[in-house]
Structure 1
Amino acid sequence: MNEKINALISEMTLEEKANILSGKDFWHTEPVKRLGIPEIMVADGPAGLRKQEEVKGALTTVPCTCFPSESLLACSWDTDLMESFGKAMGEEAGFEGVNIVLGPGCNIKRSPVCGRNFEYLSEDPYLSGVMAGHIIKGVQAEGVGTSLKHYIANNQEHRRLSVNAVIDERALREIYLKSFEYAVKIGKPWTVMCSYNRVNSGYVCESRRLLTDILRNEWGFDGIVVSDWGAVNDRVECLKAGLDLEMPSSGMVNTQKIINAVNEAELDIETVDKSVGRLLELIFKAVENKAEKISADIKDINHKRARKIAGECIVLLKNEQNMLPLSKSEDIAFIGMFAKQSRFEGGGSSHVIPTRLESAYDEMCKLLNREIPFAPGYSLNSDIPDEELIKEAIKIASGAQKTVIFAGLPENYESEGYDRKHMDMPASHICLINEICKVNRNVIVVLSNGAPVAMPWIDNAGAVMEGYLWGQAGAGAVCELLLGISNPCGKLAESFPVALEHNPSYLNFPGEDDEVYYRESVFTGYRYYGRKKINPLFCFGHGLSYTSFEYSALRLEAKVFDAGEDILLNFKVKNSGDRQGKEIYQIYIRNAEGELNKQASELKQFGKLELAAGEEKEVTVKIEGSAFSHFCTREQAFIVEEGEFEILIGASSEDIRLTAGVKINSADKVKKVYHKNSTIGDIKENPAGKILFKELEEQYPEAFEMIFNGMEDDGSDFRDKMIHYTVLRSLVYFSKGLISEQKIEELINILNNN
């Protein structure tokens, strides 16, 4: 802390210190006017600002640009685009006088039915963390801070304020913490928002291990930790753990608890001063970095940016017989109320009042310079199929060459505050698609939904485009993609299972009462589907284009590397089609000979290339040595095991085009601890143990004849297996003491100290 802040802290009373560590109200920090300490403003912002201000005694939400949801943004796999998006958000926040944007969110998509999945980026920690990190960089480049949320394991809305997420240490480190680690190290957020829930019994907001030991000491985070709104359980314990700012104001309730704890020597004043100092640093950083002049046209500019961003993200899932792109000369019909009333954003704290809102129908008519046939097909007020609306839609579709159906999930199906019970679309949407497919073979379905849906109609539709929640300008972007004005290049940042029952968390989501067990461990999303050989409906990383791409000429600088050593590899990607396009390459690593639970392919690098028709580019990629590590619970550290690994390069997690094997030499050895319940097989796997056990057999031949009497070698594996899995203590009992417990202890001590 600098001299100015230290001087201010020395002048503050205990009451002022305790008071500043709680919000002034819902959106502002508490000022200390007598010392010239100003307030700063925060606002929700994962996909656009939700700035609220008081007008005539009532809170009013200010219209701001509604960008695509994070679920769609992640499908760009484009870090430059994420920084551009962040900068656009930062500029608008500065224009509105907002100092901290509450976002991005990088919780892992453990289940497709989490009600808030539209606010999160991916099921994969690397993609999630890297994309979040670059959003943060973009926002903060404009002098506006971010609040990376919700740290950690806020992966469901059901009982989110009290649920205890029981997560094994390896999964916690490799999946759930890792997403935030990437984001913190890449983006360096000004604040991190602590989640509501508990992890392994304790509230996250009271966990010194999570908030201080890992976040600050291991990762180097130097900003403030702020509570999610209402997440504080015990204010004093939170402060001790490293939670600096409580939001919103608790009306002096928790402020008084801090004062009492200091006066009663339950809380060190140094702990209070440390949090106050961090908060003052944030406040003055926000004030000093405030942009001086921002264009008054920023919201018009951002509307155009939002359209461009959406076009880079929307995913073409299916395109049989090149049904897309549409030709402007074709007779096209639009069916479905979403074509005129876009489902463009999620519900809850991310709900934005848009500055304007495009509809797909209006935008298509503009692009075609003519009116096109339309039928609503279903009611937005009912899930029950409406026979009259369907009859009208059938009549319209029967007279069209191609029919585009806009369907998906109504806003009340997914929101902050509750989870979905299933992956189904409304019956009215499903029935409409099925009936239209009976009268028109050229059906394109455009989906608007915050998270994966089941598609029982998929075989009947010729093409499917996933628009997620595309924001206020995404309708125009999807029309440009449908017509081929733009070429689709988005790829899924999560798997779409055929059925919810296929998801690895299915039996343990959302848990029972206040306990949810993450029994799938590290096998989230594509890791699970790949390991179990379950074909999802659409795999992680999947996305089509109107052109095609070929991969070739994979080269590595060597075949053998030392642990921790970076690997440079080269390969070529060629646009083998007849039009310009962008390809997202994905690089996965798999431990080819490790234990079964370490053999899942894991994303470790990705990139996006723009290629003209026929153009070929050589790609050079550095894979960091840490990409080969896993978290060892015994050593409580990330280690690299010596062995063979596969590097897999492809267009998706399942569409692998190039492979190469590498050998990693490593000094990281997991020291095995032996005890009386270790098996003879365990002992013999150790070279020293094999020698010691042979000496034991030679020293006590009568004992071993007694132990294994009746286990004759009959040509099967029975005798060998029985011996292999016999535990050491059994040697004492079965030999009736000929082999003593002291002898077994001597053998164990030698091995453990070897």
Structure 2
Amino acid sequence: MADTGTHIEAAVETALGKLDLDAKTRLLAGQDMWSLPALPEIGLASLVMSDGPIGVRGVRWTADDPSVALPSPTALAATWDPGLARRAGVLLAQEARRKGVHVLLAPTVNLHRSPLGGRHFEAYSEDPYLTGRIGSGYVTGVQEGGVATTVKHFVANDAETDRFTVNNLVGERALRELYLAPFEAIVENARPWGIMTAYNTVNGTTMTEHHHLVNGILRGEWGFDGFNVSDWMAARDTVGALRGGLDVAMPGPGTVYGESLAQAVRDGRLDEPEVDEAVRRVLRLAARVGALADVEPAVPAPPAPVHGEALARELARRSFVLVRNERAALPLRPGRTVALIGAAARDARVLGGGSATVFPAHVVSPLDGLAAALPEGALSYAVGADPTTELAVADRGFTLRAVCRDAAGTVIGTGSAPSGQIQWTGTDLPDGVTHDSLHSVELTGTFTPRASGRHSFGIKGAGAFTLTVAGTTYFDDAQQPADVSDPFEAFFGSPVPRAETELTAGEPVDVSLTYVVRLPDGIPLKVVAFALAHQEPPRDPDALIAEAVEAARAADTAVVVVATTDRVESEGFDRADLRLPGRQDDLVRAVAAANPDTVVVVNSGSPVELPWREDVAAVLLSWFPGQEGGAALADVLTGAHEPGGRLPTTWGSLADAPVTRVAPSDGELPYEEGVFIGYRAWEKEGRTPAYVFGHGLGYTDWTYDSVETDGTTVAVRLRNTGDRAGREVVQVYLAPTEPDAGRPARWLAGFAGVEAGPGKSAEAVVTLPRRAFEIWDEAAHRWFFVKGSYEIQVGRSLADRRITATINV
């Protein structure tokens, strides 16, 4: 892949020389929600950005333009395969080009500091080295496809509580060794074309103005030459942002740049050469992605096409982590009957909530996948327990459209509404509709129930609404917003119940929700956002569990799918606990008591407590598995493919977790644990988790025969001693032989995946990076190579270390 060359730099300087101050400053401010303005005078097309990281949404948040939905970032990290991450990146670049997107707002490489982090599913791991390796693969793949990445959120954006205002107090050593480390590795190994700075403040300075971290370290020490874009609405001050290294303030048009930046130069508060530096970086980005005329882009021709569904399915099954498998419960033996249990088995949750949400063309649920894979008559299904305890956005059974009217009630445009949620940002409105002309939006259509009984309907949003179901108006009033500090929490928050009515399964009824649009004057971003919500008739939870127990008794194997909801894991808020919602724990206990061959599939993007884990035969973690999750699950359960995942983060109870605080006090959140997060902290505190970092079982066995090292390279010989082919992730940990209270007991220094057939041998070769032996010296403000004796510990996980060697450095 070509990178910045003399032809690009020359073109950038030529283009820059043709721009006046107003054009320059306009280029640094978003013209709308997702794009920068075109400058025809220099042949510059409008640069378009889009959210990721598991798909490319495009500039419209709608199912009209579906996106391939890959598994969650935690799932990608669970593959422990940078090459697979690279392939995922190539696919996403292909999706971006299809949607006219130049810049993908991904990947998220913040760390799993606390299991309570609400956006935990969108980041990779608790370990900076693993995060850096997976992130480097992802960035390389996307940019090989000619699309830019923006590695985010720089830096220490590790929780959601008060994320716009929190001042995270992070020691210099912890910053360097943990939180900056993935960014540094990706800059060094993948040369990203963009970075996104976070909302939060670090050690007293907001990240969009952090000269030391952005100009001093990111650009100065690491040599980053890409552009720096703010998180949306994060930029606060014109002069502070530009001098702090922020190139682009999004979204527009109401930002601290544009006219405000030009005026700051004219007033003498900034010099035009300072603006020029930011413009150069944006023009360099444009040249790299092919948006600057007469300049060959960094990738002249795209890679070969990637089959999205096939890769999504492969990635999912490679990410599934089998953490328990007693009596060889998995794979399922041929000829056995299966009782599939759980609401999430039928209505799959395949991705996390928030800005990572995309709309796939289809979703394969576990019920779909197993029904297709098993012989006719081998599969039964029972709901068992529903994790959703409140109304959810109207979806299954609804056929809706959006009708836009002006103040006189005249229809001025219509748009599709694949679900009951409307999210129109900036100029993302139906054809012919403007914010000036729009007075109301009506969601209207039909609902065909799949169950008879008393259905509930509700509203998510703030403003004046009218709700009508089956000809009866149940609500015609204003709904006030909840008292929340994060606008994303308000947007993705709980709906308010407004109607209950008896309906009959299979008989459609008319539904209508009208919203009167009111946008306050002077707001920087115009958003039309509300939702129609629905809940099926409640059934007695004990009766549902009893039905599941009967189904389990009648089958050879029970497969229970348990899950979180978007009120548990989402952008905008942190988690209150690690428990599964609803009666799901009770369900698993009851089914396991009825059938000793109970397999539990855990459909969550981040750790949950599994109090029944010793009572079931097998536990398989499926993360948020993407659109092909059900097909991949069938592949793994039936043994067509091996579960390939290893834990990228420690799973344990909240009571035992060493680092849990995510809420600031008086605006500050001290990272008091220093360099001890994740498995480093669990070992330091002498606590035993449910499942350790790196853990994961396959369908074959491995023997580690030998290890050889010269202190730089570690070569491991191992044999597949099982009766089927498999893949092993060889993990290399470095442990000082002399205990040091200031350093972890051991840390991940390298890993490699190998494959071998039954009875065959393989060799894994791992290069130990110099950084594995270094710590950050806070007094000298530099990296310090710690000489001494180290044990190289090689094995299958942090705890399952099979073979060792000692070196002196």
TM-score, with length taken from structure 2: 0.78
Task: Verify: 1:240 aligned to 2:243, yes or no.
Answer: yes
SS in 2 for 1:492: coil
461-470 or 380-389, which moves further after superposition? 380-389
Shift in alpha-carbon separation, 1:599–1:378, aligned structure 2, 3 A: closer
In structure 1, give the amino acid aligned to 2:350: F
Question: C-alpha distance in 2, partners of 1:156/1:38?
Answer: 36
In structure 1, give the amino acid aligned to 2:707: L
Match of residue 51 from structure 2: 44
SS in 1 for 2:156: coil
Match of residue 76 from structure 1: 79
Q: How much has 1:51 moved relative to structure 2?
A: 1.4
Q: How much has 1:60 moved relative to structure 2?
A: 6.7
Determine which of 541, 545, 555 is the counterpart of 1:386: 541
Q: How much has 1:311 moved relative to structure 2?
A: 1.1
Superposition pairs for residues 340-359 of structure 1, below 5 Å? 340-359=346-365
Q: How much has 1:510 moved relative to structure 2?
A: 2.2
Question: C-alpha distance in 2, partners of 1:135/1:533?
Answer: 35
Match of residue 362 from structure 1: 368
Relative to its length, the structure with more strand (as a share) is 2
In structure 2, give the amino acid aligned to 1:239: L
Question: C-alpha distance in 2, partners of 1:289/1:314?
Answer: 38
Q: How much has 1:14 moved relative to structure 2?
A: 1.2
Q: How much has 1:626 moved relative to structure 2?
A: 2.9
Task: Verify: 1:482 aligned to 2:637, yes or no.
Answer: yes
Question: C-alpha distance in 2, partners of 1:9/1:34?
Answer: 11
Q: How much has 1:294 moved relative to structure 2?
A: 7.7
The count of aligned residue pairs is 648
Q: How much has 1:120 moved relative to structure 2?
A: 0.4
Deviation per CA, 1:638-672, whole angstroms, max 9, x where unpaired?
A: 111222222111110111111222222xxxxxxxx
**2:58·2:100 contact (CA, 8 Å) conserved in 1?**
no
**2:738·2:789 contact (CA, 8 Å) conserved in 1?**
yes
Shift in alpha-carbon separation, 1:423–1:23, aligned structure 2, 3 A: same
SS in 1 for 2:93: helix
In structure 2, give the amino acid aligned to 1:314: F
Question: C-alpha distance in 1, partners of 2:47/2:27?
Answer: 12
Match of residue 621 from structure 1: 766
Gap regions ≥5 residues in structure 1? 558-565, 665-754
Question: C-alpha distance in 2, partners of 1:465/1:440?
Answer: 17
In structure 2, give the amino acid aligned to 1:168: G
SS in 2 for 1:464: strand
In structure 2, give the amino acid aligned to 1:402: T
Shift in alpha-carbon separation, 1:20–1:425, aligned structure 2, 3 A: same
**2:730·2:764 contact (CA, 8 Å) conserved in 1?**
no
**1:496·1:536 contact (CA, 8 Å) conserved in 2?**
yes
Match of residue 798 from structure 2: 653
Q: How much has 1:250 moved relative to structure 2?
A: 4.1
Q: Percent identity?
A: 34
Shift in alpha-carbon separation, 1:36–1:618, aligned structure 2, 3 A: closer
Match of residue 217 from structure 1: 220
Superposition pairs for residues 284-433 of structure 1, below 5 Å? 284-287=287-290, 288-289=296-297, 301-371=307-377, 372-379=379-386, 381-382=388-389, 386-433=541-588
Q: How much has 1:604 moved relative to structure 2?
A: 1.0
Determine which of 501, 516, 527 is the counterpart of 2:655: 501
Match of residue 460 from structure 2: none
In structure 1, give the amino acid aligned to 2:655: E
Task: Verify: 1:524 aligned to 2:531, yes or no.
Answer: no
Task: Verify: 1:610 aligned to 2:755, yes or no.
Answer: yes
399-408 or 545-554, which moves further after superposition? 545-554
Determine which of 256, 268, 276 is the counterpart of 2:279: 276
Match of residue 161 from structure 1: 164
Task: Verify: 1:119 aligned to 2:122, yes or no.
Answer: yes
Match of residue 643 from structure 1: 788
Relative to its length, the structure with more helix (as a share) is 1
Question: C-alpha distance in 2, partners of 1:253/1:244?
Answer: 11
SS in 2 for 1:403: strand
**2:201·2:207 contact (CA, 8 Å) conserved in 1?**
yes
Shift in alpha-carbon separation, 1:188–1:65, aligned structure 2, 3 A: same
Shift in alpha-carbon separation, 1:460–1:614, aligned structure 2, 3 A: same
Task: Verify: 1:552 aligned to 2:559, yes or no.
Answer: no
**2:55·2:70 contact (CA, 8 Å) conserved in 1?**
yes
**2:386·2:584 contact (CA, 8 Å) conserved in 1?**
no
SS in 2 for 1:422: coil
**2:386·2:582 contact (CA, 8 Å) conserved in 1?**
no
Question: C-alpha distance in 2, partners of 1:225/1:322?
Answer: 51
SS in 2 for 1:430: helix
SS in 2 for 1:283: helix
Q: How much has 1:252 moved relative to structure 2?
A: 5.8
- Please list every run of at least 4 consecutive aligned residues from structure 1 whose deviation after the TM superposition is greater than 3 angstroms: 288-295
SS in 1 for 2:614: coil
Q: How much has 1:257 moved relative to structure 2?
A: 2.6
**1:19·1:252 contact (CA, 8 Å) conserved in 2?**
no
Question: C-alpha distance in 2, partners of 1:140/1:132?
Answer: 12
Task: Verify: 1:189 aligned to 2:192, yes or no.
Answer: yes
Deviation per CA, 1:162-215, whole angstroms, max 9, x where unpaired?
A: 101111111110000001111121111110010110011111111111111110
Question: C-alpha distance in 1, partners of 2:159/2:369?
Answer: 36
Shift in alpha-carbon separation, 1:628–1:432, aligned structure 2, 3 A: same
Superposition pairs for residues 676-715 of structure 1, below 5 Å? none
SS in 1 for 2:121: helix
TM-score, with length taken from structure 1: 0.83
Question: C-alpha distance in 1, partners of 2:688/2:588?
Answer: 24
438-447 or 361-370, which moves further after superposition? 361-370
Q: How much has 1:388 moved relative to structure 2?
A: 1.8
Shift in alpha-carbon separation, 1:494–1:141, aligned structure 2, 3 A: same
Question: C-alpha distance in 2, partners of 1:65/1:290?
Answer: 25
Match of residue 460 from structure 1: 615
Task: Verify: 1:4 aligned to 2:11, yes or no.
Answer: yes
Match of residue 724 from structure 1: none
Determine which of 199, 203, 209 is the counterpart of 1:200: 203
85-94 or 464-473, which moves further after superposition? 85-94
Question: C-alpha distance in 1, partners of 2:786/2:375?
Answer: 62
Question: C-alpha distance in 1, partners of 2:20/2:607?
Answer: 53
5-14 or 145-154, which moves further after superposition? 5-14
Deviation per CA, 1:352-386, whole angstroms, max 9, x where unpaired?
A: 10121101112212111314110011235428971
Question: C-alpha distance in 1, partners of 2:224/2:213?
Answer: 12
Q: How much has 1:526 moved relative to structure 2?
A: 0.5
Question: C-alpha distance in 1, partners of 2:286/2:676?
Answer: 41
Shift in alpha-carbon separation, 1:599–1:361, aligned structure 2, 3 A: closer
Task: Verify: 1:451 aligned to 2:606, yes or no.
Answer: yes
Shift in alpha-carbon separation, 1:99–1:618, aligned structure 2, 3 A: same
**1:50·1:61 contact (CA, 8 Å) conserved in 2?**
no
In structure 2, give the amino acid aligned to 1:347: G
**2:388·2:582 contact (CA, 8 Å) conserved in 1?**
no
SS in 1 for 2:583: helix
Match of residue 15 from structure 1: 22
Match of residue 139 from structure 1: 142
Q: How much has 1:411 moved relative to structure 2?
A: 2.2
Determine which of 431, 436, 440 is the counterpart of 2:595: 440
Match of residue 667 from structure 1: none
In structure 2, give the amino acid aligned to 1:470: P
Question: C-alpha distance in 2, partners of 1:257/1:555?
Answer: 62
Shift in alpha-carbon separation, 1:212–1:292, aligned structure 2, 3 A: closer
In structure 2, give the amino acid aligned to 1:435: A
Q: How much has 1:61 moved relative to structure 2?
A: 6.0
Question: C-alpha distance in 2, partners of 1:211/1:656?
Answer: 39
Determine which of 581, 600, 604 is the counterpart of 2:745: 600
Shift in alpha-carbon separation, 1:605–1:292, aligned structure 2, 3 A: closer
Question: C-alpha distance in 1, partners of 2:566/2:168?
Answer: 27
Larger Rg: 1
Q: How much has 1:292 moved relative to structure 2?
A: 8.5
Q: Which has the higher contact order (CA 8 A, sep 6+)?
A: 2
